[in-house]
Amino acid sequence: DAKTTQPPSMDCAEGRAANLPCNHSTISGNEYVYWYRQIHSQGPQYIIHGLKNNETNEMASLIITEDRKSSTLILPHATLRDTAVYYCIVREATWGKLQFGAGTQVVVTP
Amino acid sequence: NAGVMQNPRHLVRRRGQEARLRCSPMKGHSHVYWYRQLPEEGLKFMVYLQKENIIDESGMPKERFSAEFPKEGPSILRIQQVVRGDSAAYFCASSATSGGDRNEQFFGPGTRLTVL
């Protein structure tokens, strides 16, 4: 049973920021929000994760609402190589498995 | 630092044969996970192993599928008497620890199994 809800698809213009929403209204206090992406036919790639605070790394930024019921992944300057399925996953950091939902198919266009 | 390696990348088997998929985790990683992606479907967790131990096999089919991660050598996902429905991409991932704040899983390129 999915713990997250994401839009099935979205388009983004190359060079613009891509804002990917995720709802996780049943998240518990010890669960993290993880983001992975899967470029066509490749293995998934870790992007970023967070618990309460906003996070930023070289790939993206993660904005988590104060009530933690939703979050947004931001790709600051989308490129054509960012075209992929993006997965928002809620999990306890101490537990191994990742439960992938359907994700959001992001298409970056020139 | 080599990433997660899987071989073979493509495997073709006839119905009833056995398939062996191998996964070498990243250097220093002792936790291995197997996932399956059926055509046009999402990734599904199968099994989680540490060295010589199965930690979570809640996603493994009850029959014909087994996994091991011996003290030495790669992790092996074994499918006996394959059927056409086993045709899928099988991904392996590894991580350094099972706990703590940093527990990213790093994925391999996958093995594409085709059952004729």
Is B91's CB within 8 Å of A46's CB?
no
The predicted-structure confidence for B48-76, as pLDDT tens digits, reads as follows 999 889 999 999 999 999 999 999 999 99
A94 vs B42, B45, B99: nearest CB? B99
Round to whole Å and give the CA distance between A75 and B113.
Answer: 33
Q: What is the pLDDT of residue B97?
A: 66
Using the predicted structure, report yes or no on whether residue B41 has a pLDDT greater than 60: yes
**Which H, E and C letters describe B71-94, residue by residue?**
CCCCEEEEECCCCHHHCEEEEEEE
Token pair 């390696």: residue = B5
Residue A18 — pLDDT band, cuts 50, 70, 90? very high
Given a cut of 60, whether residue B1 has pLDDT beyond it is: no
Report the percentage of chain A scoring pLDDT > 90. 83
Q: Provide the pLDDT confidence category of residue B102 given band limits of 50, 70 and 90.
A: low
**Which residues in chain B are closer than 8 Å to A102, comparing Cβ atoms?**
42
Tens digits of residue pLDDT in A41-75: 899 999 999 999 999 999 999 999 999 999 999 99
Whole-number average pLDDT of chain A: 92
| Preceding omega of A21 cis (within 30 degrees of 0) | no
| Candidates B56, B107, B109; nearest CB to A96 | B56
**Token pair belonging to A45:** 């790639």
